[in-house]
Amino acid sequence: MEITLRYFDGCPNWKVTADRLAVLAGERPAIRVIRQLVETVEDAEAIGFRGSPSILLEGHDLFPDPSAAIGLACRLYVTPAGLVGAPTLEQLREAIAVA
């Protein structure tokens, strides 16, 4: 199972997500996490990048938000604690299980 973490360096939230995905990969050896740095607005437009961090499972966004703008911006996630820059570990587990 391949999970792609798309991010850009200007947003610190991708590091939290990377740590949480590392925990999941440790729990489930079948998970392989790939990091994909998005460097330019042109790159973001070409791949439909809707903010950092974006988490894709086998190429499909685990938390799709078609209303989010495409570009180099930090993404927000709805969590039990409110809007934050990364999904919780439990939200990631659930999204992967359902996918």
Instruction: Please say if the pLDDT value at position 99 is more than 90.
Output: no
| Sheet containing 60-61, strands listed edge to edge, beginning at the edge strand earlier in sequence | 32-37, 2-7, 54-57, 60-61
Mean pLDDT for 30-58 is 97
One-letter amino acid of 7: Y
pLDDT of residue 43: 97
Residues ≥6 apart with Cβ < 8 Å to 37: 7, 8, 9
Radius of gyration from C-alpha coordinates of the chain = 13
Average of per-residue pLDDT values in the chain = 96
Domains of the chain: 2-98 (3.40.30.10)
**pTM exceeding the 0.75 threshold for the entire prediction:** yes
Torsion sign over Cα 20, 26, 28, 33: positive
